[in-house]
Chains A and B, each alone.
Chain A
Amino acid sequence: MAARMGLMYLPEETHMSLTRRDFLKTSIAASTAATVGMPLSKEALAQARAAERDWQWDKSVCRFCGTGCGILVASKDGRVVATKGDPKAPVNRGLNCVKGYFNGKIMYGKDRLTQPLMRMTDGKFDKKGKFVPVTWEQAFDEMERQFRRVYAEKGPTGIAMLASAQKTIPEGYAFNKLFKAGWRSNNIDPNARNCMASAVAAFYSVFGTDEPAGNYDDIEYTDTAILWGANMAEMHPILWSRITDRRLGHKNMRVVNLTTYRNMSSDIADLEIIFKPQTDLAIQNYIAREIIARNAVNWDFVDKHCVFVTGPYDIGYGMRPTDKFAFPAEKDIQAKELRVKLDRDEAIAQRRTEGEVVEQKNTANPGAHWLITFEEFKRAVDPYTLDFVAAMSKGDPDEPLDQYRAKLQQLADLYIDANRKVVSFWTMGFNQSVRGTWVNEQCYMNHLLLGKQSQPGNGAFSLTGQPSACGTAREVGMFAHRLPADRLLPNPAHREYTEKQWNLPARTLNPHIGSFYGKILRDLEDGGVKWLWVAVNNPFQSHPNINHWLKAARELDNFIVVSEAYPGISAKVADLILPSAMIFEKWGAYGNAERRTQVWRQSVPPPGQARGDMWQAMEFSKRFKIKEFWGEQRVPGLKVAGYEDGKLPSVLDEAVKMGYSPEDSLYKVLFATPNNLKVRWPDPVAKGRDNHIANLLGDGWFPEKAIWQEYVAFGRGVGKDLADFDVYYADDVRGLKWPVVNGRETHWRFNEQYDPYVKKGAGFQFYGKLFKAIPTGDLDKVTDPKPVSVADKAKIFFRPYAAPVEQPDANYDLWFCTGRVLEHWHTGTMTRRVPELHRSVPAAVMWMHPDDARKRGLKRNDLAWLESRRGRIQIRVETGGRNTMPKGMVYAAFFDEGVLVNKICIDAACPISKESDYKKSAVKVYKV
């Protein structure tokens, strides 16, 4: 019997519920009627190992979540034959989660797309036609024809791309450049908008630079892990295995799970706090109040490295400002975009009067903020007493208030204990909220007040959802407002720098921020966007309130291209489907949540006519000349110093002076530049692996490497340093955490001991450059608009509690929350084609409290209608299993295209980050 050393400190009587002997008596294993189940014999095993001798092994990265586990991919005869966790990968140390183990099967679903499909009737494109296989040439011909039609009619704002944090870094860079430099359109935004945008907005506002200070080793250094709306046991299982390891093996380790319903992360937690949706805003302020009341502010740290700030409260809810497109049932909630009546809790939390009607007058600049004094800050958090916060935030109606109060106190104790290191982890519970940016800022607030930030085992750690949200979306700046390495389109110096790097004439880049992800879909609905390219994401399943977008896609005069590996919902509503190569069929790089950049080679060729997205971008760009875009262009709404209103200037004369010909193709100017053509394929770094994109482009360059080397220049010297391409491909490298300076990675940012960017003697230096000159004011307003420098400081924000825009009422009487399950990735297009994963969770179910079910005449497995103001779906009821819902709330995951839960969800968003709130819709449930 193995000793469970790690559990020895736990009370003996609770160590096991049954003794081993008792258990065996009753267990099925006690039977001796054994007949089957023999594993491989020794000979068979030896045979299998011998068969592996001619396998080709490649280091690679898991295709799924933001953890970024290293894997090894085995291939033979052009097919992947196995994958396994990479024992040398520091992230996962050989382990994978249940879906990570199946990376090897995701490419082999039987309905893999291998040929472009276009809607046609009688051999011609027809929006109402059926899908017919076409050649790439035919596909691009129509795509080009439609592009030209829309660009001529609407200019750069009429086209758009819904991009992805699952693209590789070079793919993201290439598409970003094609849109912004080539087509002069900023309408490119990734699904990371719905995943990480609130985290990004807070990194910018608090630190002036994106991405976490810490790394995963914080788990082994800390003695307190506090989860805020992060069900890590299901969503970041390998990080959870590390937390479990720490929890079971270290007697002082404590784990807290703050959540709106009981989930798998509660099973290992010492303290579970079930709070009411969105009251995390109030709980954070209660902790801040306690820190001050207990005289626990780390003044040495705060005085040297922090300032206090606040911003406007009445910032709207990220909905449309008009009800023109709203379904009749949506209009009451939509009206709150303009004005809301404060409820009692908001009134107390914002030092206002209950019932006051408040105009949402700060929607234009919701992220504005200004300096306040500590005294003002203290006055702001003063209403957040234990009594107030406990009463308004308790999420389980059946939990006694005294017990819940005690839990909040324990939470404050854990944060404040001077002998305790604390890491706060969060993901979508924070980020996907109409106040997502605020609650991110609040988490830093408490870590900064305590001085528990940017040290091993101490820090607020924003986890990412997708495999390259950090690498591809954030670092590359593939957003409607961003450029590579923390640069922003509205900033003239950043545009100028980028134009120089890209060898563009001055003022080629469009200074007008493009449409964010959700707005691109709204633009499709109101006719603003008429040509849409979707790649590596599935918006017509994954974006909230899809009844609007499905209708817009199919019933309006627009052209939708979807690059996909499988026919998901977005492909079904497309006009043209382009078959894409999947991860191990191309070269690539991903950046994970701890700033670790990891790479892989092409292990196997893509099937049939499937081709990498990078090739799709570059090959399509060959069809266009700079003269078609670099002349004067209309951009409605553009109003920027140095530009005529509503217009982008012609830069063609300047281009000619720079040596370009107006006839030059975008391919030549943006991608196959003289410098890039010098990076030749084949290259020894390939170690004999192929590159279908280099082969297809056919002009002898190595696009992934050339693009990489072009890209890394943006981050060098500004704290975002990436190493050269070949460094990451070295056999002994398992990714490197940026900034990589003089060949060394950085483990903790902003800390002199670890970060080469911190000045000697500074101790800590929050050197991010964005939003570091701000006005001064009081809790309500700016009193002195003159910008004051807060260089090298982190900002401690006061942000108040605000009520969710939609809440249960007499008609829609339940909260609805959506998210993922452990066994499936996002919309299930890959994992549901792996039989083992499909069979483990074959359909989305609705978790519900048994009493809530009973009240509606429902029981487990019954079919129910789930209905909101936006639509209704049918779903099976689950009253047991891994989640335990408090009364008044239901949960269903969004992976199942047969159960489209996003027909239910509200598309309200954080007005600062524009990230959708998937966690708080009001619904009703009734028997079918």
Chain B
Amino acid sequence: MKQKLLLLATLSTFALGSAALGDLAILDDSLGLSPVSVFDVPAPEAFEYLDTDPKVAGVLPRAWEDLPPQIPHRAERYLPINARVNKCLECHDEPDKIGKKVSGKPTPMSEAHYVRDGRELTLANNKYVCTLCHAPQTEAAVLVGNTFQGAR
């Protein structure tokens, strides 16, 4: 059915009469992200966050340059971030290495996370809660796909 929807998206720029599309009739149950009847009560799949080691698996691709990177490893062991403890900073707060990512090492936070005080860079307090912008990823399958194409 997803194929039919895809086809619909493809055909949509043409003016088509309904007669010609009779064979494209779509059962309502098949629509959407949970392709069952709205009266059904499906069992959701369990999910786990990626337990990959970014040293091996690498970082995750970004859709465009200015997007905050997704967290390429499990994050719960470093959470929660509170006013006293931020374990993310232990690895990613590397103001001397900004823009100098070394393969296999944690990605240093970008300069946008700092305020400059003379020569010293101080972490901007409004960037302190990392999870507001960065999220870990599960292995869940994409539900319908996305046709976004960036510049790259």
Contact = CB atoms under 8 A, between A and B. Distances in A.
Of B32, B46, B65, B134, most buried by chain A (CB within 10 Å of CB) is B32
Interface stretch (A110-118, A288-296, A319-327, A769-777): A110-118
Contact of B121 (A2, A131, A836, A841): A2
B80 A20 contact: no
Interface in A523-579: 540, 550-551, 554, 566-569, 571-573, 579
B133 A2 contact: no
Contacts of A40: 65
A835 to B, nearest CB: 5
Contacts of B125: 6, 244-249
A810 interface: no
Interface stretch (A133-141, A405-413, A449-457, A740-748): A133-141
B60 to A, nearest CB: 8
A130 B21 contact: no
A34 interface: yes
Contacts of A835: 142, 145-146
B90 A23 contact: yes
A133 B24 contact: yes
A842 B140 contact: yes
Contacts of A138: 18
Given A569-B32, A573-B38, A874-B42, A38 B149 contact: no
Given A82-B64, A242-B126, A842 B105 contact: no
Contacts of B144: 109-111, 833
B67 A101 contact: yes
A1 interface: yes
B90 A27 contact: yes
Contacts of A24: 90-91
B149 A81 contact: yes
A873 B41 contact: yes
Contacts of A900: 38, 41
B93 to A, nearest CB: 6
Contacts of A111: 2, 5-6, 9, 31-32, 144
Main secondary structure of the interface of B (DSSP, over half): loop
B9 to A, nearest CB: 5
B21 A1 contact: no
Q: How large is the interface on B (under 10, 10 to 19, 20 to 34, 35 or more residues)?
A: 35 or more
Contact of A2 (B44, B79, B85, B120): B120
Nearest to B26: A131
Contacts, number: 346
Interface in B36-75: 38-39, 41-47, 53-59, 63-68, 70, 73
A10 B81 CA distance: 15
A24 B1 CA distance: 50
A2 B152 contact: no
A514 interface: no
Contacts of A842: 45, 47, 138, 140
Nearest to B20: A133
Nearest to B115: A5
B143 A833 contact: yes
Interface stretch (A48-56, A207-215, A419-427, A638-646): A48-56
A897 B42 CA distance: 10
Interface stretch (A11-19, A144-152, A664-672, A801-809): A11-19
A559 B85 CA distance: 56
A903 B126 CA distance: 38
A831 to B, nearest CB: 11
B77 to A, nearest CB: 10
A23 B137 CA distance: 23
A898 B15 CA distance: 34
Contacts of B105: 29, 34, 37
Contact of A36 (B9, B43, B57): B57
A784 B18 CA distance: 68
A104 B148 contact: yes
A45 B18 CA distance: 49
A115 B73 CA distance: 41
A57 interface: no
A721 to B, nearest CB: 32
Interface string A444-477: 0000000000000000000000000000000000
Interface stretch (A481-489, A625-633, A875-883): A875-883
A894 to B, nearest CB: 13
Contacts of B121: 2
A843 B33 CA distance: 11
A333 interface: no
Given A84-B66, A133-B11, A844 B44 contact: yes
A6 B152 CA distance: 38
A109 B2 CA distance: 12
B133 A95 contact: yes
A35 B41 CA distance: 45
A876 B46 contact: yes
Contacts of B55: 28, 31, 33-37
Of B15, B63, B79, B95, most buried by chain A (CB within 10 Å of CB) is B63
A318 interface: no
Interface stretch (A233-241, A355-363, A368-376, A378-386): A233-241
B148 A105 contact: yes
B125 to A, nearest CB: 4
A836 B95 contact: no
A836 B70 contact: yes
Interface string B4-30: 011011011101111101101111110
Contact of A130 (B15, B28, B135, B143): B28
Nearest to A27: B91
Interface string B75-97: 01001111111010111010100
Contacts of A165: none
A240 B90 contact: no
Contact of A4 (B66, B87, B122): B122
A557 to B, nearest CB: 18
A497 interface: no
Given A10-B84, A110-B144, A123-B22, A34 B67 contact: no
A132 B123 contact: no
A101 B135 contact: no
A616 B22 CA distance: 25
B40 to A, nearest CB: 10
B72 to A, nearest CB: 8
B135 A823 contact: yes
Contact of A608 (B9, B66, B101): B9
A2 B32 contact: no
B8 to A, nearest CB: 6
A55 B150 CA distance: 11
A843 B67 CA distance: 23
Interface string A886-918: 000000000011111001000000000000000
Interface of B: 2, 5-6, 8-9, 11-13, 15-19, 21-22, 24-29, 31-34, 38-39, 41-47, 53-59, 63-68, 70, 73, 76, 79-85, 87, 89-91, 93, 95, 101-107, 112, 114, 117, 120-129, 131-140, 142-152
14 contacts: A17-B85, A18-B87, A29-B105, A37-B105, A39-B59, A80-B148, A105-B146, A267-B81, A608-B12, A836-B70, A842-B45, A874-B43, A876-B44, A928-B43
Closest A-B pairs by Cβ, 10 of them: A34-B104, A608-B12, A842-B140, A114-B12, A36-B58, A840-B135, A898-B34, A245-B126, A130-B25, A82-B64
Given A111-B5, A550-B38, A840-B138, 13 more contacts: A1-B93, A34-B103, A36-B59, A37-B105, A37-B107, A110-B6, A112-B9, A237-B132, A567-B5, A842-B47, A843-B44, A843-B140, A875-B44
Interface of A: 1-7, 10, 14-18, 20, 23-24, 27-29, 31-40, 45, 48, 51-52, 55, 74, 76, 79-82, 84, 93-98, 101-102, 104-105, 108-112, 114-115, 117-120, 123, 129-135, 138, 233, 237-238, 240-242, 244-249, 264, 267-268, 270, 540, 550-551, 554, 566-569, 571-573, 579, 607-609, 822-823, 828, 832-844, 861, 863, 872-876, 880-882, 896-900, 903, 928
